[in-house]
């Protein structure tokens, strides 16, 4: 037995000398011959990684670096992070509607850490937006709502376009912010929470005038008009005051934002559901002494208001 151990100790230096004589790189430990974490430094004499697979020489299927033309090999760390995100999303889907405030905050904190800075596929973003909308009628406490809004902000910062598009679609699919909804006190409270989400999207996804373009931006303003109408229809004074305060604060923070709101709303197909938002915008401009903006859109505003009144009058006349 002692002789076998001595032979094995002598054999390894002999292999190293033979490789050196043939001009081959030193024999690397087994942990270095395979996968290397991204960004790890290479030691002296180590070969460059394969440009297709990221593995070291001889470890890639089909040949050795740098001439390797074999099929790419997905690094094991990618599978690790993928499974970590998948497991977190599954746990969130199960616990999102739990009655325990502590569990909500824990899973939302875990979700925020998981999605922050990650490049998630759009399918995952869409699923998260649908799950967020399940909480509109469920979360009544301030702690859960703050935790959820923080997770939504982290998602919007990492995936801005996908989050804006899918959240607006999910809100309308859930019945919040849709033209067919019937306002009530319960829906008014949920609409106020959804309105705060859309204000977050304005600040995060559309922070500059150059970005406030396209169909998603127009859809965002339209959904806000419908959400405001739903809050007003709920006839809950505290919710109404909260909605007015959120929008006024948003318009004060961003110069020329009110002008862009008027431009979008008046460019949409005329609908009496937008009258509440138009009235609030005019009230804000009057309070801030921005009469020039109102004068610029005076003709369109008058047409919108009087057109809405005449359509309501004719509708009631036909019904009578």
**Is residue 269 a part of any domain in this protein?**
yes
**Is residue 53 a part of any domain in this protein?**
no
- Model confidence, pTM: 0.70
Exposure string for 114-129, b = 16+ CB within 10 A, e = fewer? bbeeeebeeebbbbbb
Exposure string for 297-315, b = 16+ CB within 10 A, e = fewer? beebbeebeeebeeeeeee
Q: In the structure, what pLDDT confidence band is assigned to residue 88 with cuts at 50, 70 and 90?
A: confident
Which is higher by pLDDT, 312 or 27? 27
The C-alpha atoms of residue 146 and residue 258 are separated, in whole angstroms, by 27
Which structural domain, as residue segments, surrounds residue 164? 88-309
**Is residue 222 a part of any domain in this protein?**
yes
Least confident of 33-37, 93-97, 117-121, 147-151: 33-37
152 CB-near residues (< 8 Å, 6+ apart): 132, 163, 167, 197, 200
Would the pLDDT of 312 be above 80?
no
**Is residue 181 a part of any domain in this protein?**
yes
Q: In the structure, what pLDDT confidence band is assigned to residue 182 with cuts at 50, 70 and 90?
A: low
- Determine the straight-line distance between the first and last CA of the chain, rounded to whole angstroms: 108
**Is residue 66 a part of any domain in this protein?**
no
> What does the block give as tokens for 205?
């996804």
77 near 84, Cβ under 8 Å? no
Rg of the chain on CA atoms, in Å: 30
**Is residue 40 a part of any domain in this protein?**
no
Model pLDDT, residue 97: 86
Tell me the CATH number at 103.
1.25.10
Model pLDDT, residue 179: 60
**Is residue 68 a part of any domain in this protein?**
no
As a whole number, mean pLDDT of residues 50-56 equals 47
Which is higher by pLDDT, 52 or 193? 193
As a whole number, mean pLDDT of residues 130-155 equals 92
Model pLDDT, residue 137: 87
**Is residue 14 a part of any domain in this protein?**
no
Which is higher by pLDDT, 114 or 154? 154
As a whole number, mean pLDDT of residues 82-111 equals 85
Least confident of 58-72, 102-116, 189-203, 243-257: 58-72
**What is the count of structural domains for the chain?**
1
Q: In the structure, what pLDDT confidence band is assigned to residue 13 with cuts at 50, 70 and 90?
A: low
């Amino acid at each position: 037995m002692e002789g076998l151990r001595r032979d094995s100790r002598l054999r390894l230096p002999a292999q190293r000398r033979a490789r050196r004589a043939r001009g081959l790189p030193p024999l690397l430990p087994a942990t270095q011959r395979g996968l290397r974490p991204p960004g790890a430094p290479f030691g002296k004499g180590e070969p460059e990684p394969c440009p297709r697979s990221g593995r070291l020489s001889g470890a890639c299927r089909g040949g050795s670096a740098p001439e390797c033309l074999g099929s790419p090999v997905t690094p094991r760390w990618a599978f690790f992070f993928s499974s970590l995100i998948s497991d977190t999303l599954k746990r969130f889907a199960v616990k999102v509607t739990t009655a325990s405030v502590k569990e909500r905050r824990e899973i939302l904190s875990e979700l925020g850490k998981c999605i922050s800075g990650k490049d998630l596929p759009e399918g995952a973003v869409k699923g998260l937006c649908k799950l967020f909308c399940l909480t509109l009628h469920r979360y009544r406490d301030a702690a859960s709502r703050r935790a959820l809004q923080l997770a939504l902000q982290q998602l919007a910062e990492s995936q801005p376009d996908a989050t804006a598009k899918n959240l607006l679609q999910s809100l309308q699919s859930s019945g919040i912010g849709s033209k067919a909804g019937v306002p009530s006190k319960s829906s008014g409270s949920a609409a106020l929470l959804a309105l705060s989400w859309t204000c977050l999207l304005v600040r995060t996804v559309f922070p500059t005038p150059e970005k406030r373009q396209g169909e998603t931006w127009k859809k965002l303003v339209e959904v806000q008009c419908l959400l405001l109408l739903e809050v007003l229809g709920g006839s809950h004074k505290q919710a109404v005051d909260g909605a007015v305060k959120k929008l006024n604060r948003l318009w004060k923070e961003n110069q020329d934002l009110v002008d862009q709101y008027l431009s979008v709303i008046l460019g949409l197909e005329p609908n009496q559901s937008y009258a509440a938002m138009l009235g609030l915008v005019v009230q804000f401009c009057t309070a801030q002494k921005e009469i020039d903006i109102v004068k610029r859109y005076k003709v369109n505003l008058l047409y919108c208001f009087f057109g809405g009144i005449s359509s309501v009058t004719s509708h009631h006349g036909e019904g009578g």
